[in-house]
Amino acid sequence: MSTLKVIALARKHLGGSMESSARLCLSDAVALLDEGKLEHAKQRALKSLVYSVGVFHADYKKASK
């Protein structure tokens, strides 16, 4: 999955008890994307998903491939 799609998915899933951590990771992902650091941006967006939905969620599994 492309970095932009992972970031969009992370935005979609913001919320829950760890929302502030998820938002911080997402913010980092966008900043890294702006710097052209696509792989690092994708990793931070994935971390945002971990905080929002967890590693067992279908969207996280799909995005991490």
Sequence spans of domains, the chain? 3-63
Instruction: Give the global pTM.
Output: 0.94
Q: In this model, does residue 31 exceed pLDDT 90?
A: yes
Q: What is the mean pLDDT of residues 8-31?
A: 96
Per-residue b/e over 47-56, b at no fewer than 16 CB within 10 Å? bbbbbbbeee
Looking at the chain, the whole-number percentage of residues with pLDDT higher than 70 is 100
Q: Residue 18: helix, strand or coil by DSSP?
A: coil
Which one-letter amino acid corresponds to residue 65?
Answer: K
